[in-house]
């Protein structure tokens, strides 16, 4: 049983607590000064507004805005037998190392942790306990810290891009006669199933597209339009815009 606390019970911190609580195998603590934030996670963990209580955990997740790290982390006063898991975007391991004696893990999760379908990028002092925790709430990739900016864009910001695309497909369904709930269900489940197929299949994405297309059929008609458009360029540009912003945020801490 892992004793883990989350400092900052906003959207991402709350999603991690909700996902981890589903196993029932951990002692979980949510720490936040905002009573509404504590109330939002009260069904999944013990709650507190006392950093000293959060600091008793073996694994402490720092789920706060980057500009709060400099004040909060020294106040936690963690020891070298504890592990800090920081999800503060743009905050490097070197910056964190100057503020704590704890072992440091940088994690970029996403909101899908609450349904245990998270995609995460992780780097630093990743041990088997951290790996097991991440396995419980989704899929993860261990990366070099130098790749954290693109990971932040791809899996951290990515859910919003996917939500946008699901909405676009659902809107097309509504335009042609489906009601909103029907269209959203069909579009969302299609994305969910397609994503699971990519994860489980040994075929490339191009091969999977070919498997759905048949000559003269409906799919190839739609794919021809997509192949002739600049949608791939636009999606890539959105990812790289998020990557650039992550790099800018990291530079702000490097310059301090």
Token pair listed for 93: 């391991």
- Please give the pLDDT value at position 254: 65
Q: Which residue has the tokens 């070298």?
A: 80
- Please give the pLDDT value at position 204: 97
**pLDDT tens digits for range 104-139:** 999 999 999 999 999 999 999 999 999 999 999 999
Q: What is the DSSP letter of 157?
A: S
- Please give the pLDDT value at position 255: 59
* Regions of the chain with pLDDT less than 50: none
Q: Cβ-count burial of 33 within 10 angstroms (0-12 exposed, 13-18 middle, 19+ buried)?
A: exposed
Which helix (H) or strand (E) segment is 61 a member of? strand 59-62
Q: Which residue has the tokens 């994305």?
A: 191
- Please give the pLDDT value at position 249: 87
- Please give the pLDDT value at position 122: 98
Taking the model in full, what pTM does it have? 0.88
């Amino acid at each position: 049983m892992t004793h883990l606390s989350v400092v900052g019970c906003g959207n991402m911190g709350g999603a991690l607590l909700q996902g981890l609580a589903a196993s029932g195998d951990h002692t979980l603590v949510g720490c936040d000064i905002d009573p509404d934030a504590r109330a939002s996670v009260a069904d999944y963990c013990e709650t507190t507004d006392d950093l000293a209580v959060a600091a008793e955990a073996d694994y402490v997740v720092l789920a706060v805005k980057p500009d709060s790290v400099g004040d909060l982390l020294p106040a936690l006063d963690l020891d070298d037998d504890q592990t800090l898991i920081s999800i503060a975007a743009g905050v490097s391991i070197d910056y964190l190392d100057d503020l704590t004696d704890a072992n440091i893990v940088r994690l970029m999760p996403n909101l899908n942790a609450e349904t245990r379908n998270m995609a995460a990028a992780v780097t630093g002092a990743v041990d088997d306990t951290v790996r097991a925790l991440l396995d419980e709430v989704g899929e993860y990739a261990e990366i070099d810290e130098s790749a954290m900016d693109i990971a932040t864009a791809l899996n951290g910001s990515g859910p919003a891009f996917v939500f946008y695309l699901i909405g676009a497909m659902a809107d097309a369904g509504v335009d042609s006669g489906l009601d909103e709930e029907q269209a959203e269900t069909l579009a969302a489940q299609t994305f969910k199933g397609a994503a699971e197929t990519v994860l489980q299949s040994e075929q490339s994405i191009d091969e999977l597209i070919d498997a759905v297309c048949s000559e003269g059929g409906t799919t190839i008609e739609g794919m021809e339009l997509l192949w002739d458009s600049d949608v791939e360029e636009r999606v890539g540009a959105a990812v790289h815009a998020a990557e650039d912003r992550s790099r800018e945020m990291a530079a702000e801490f490097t310059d301090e």
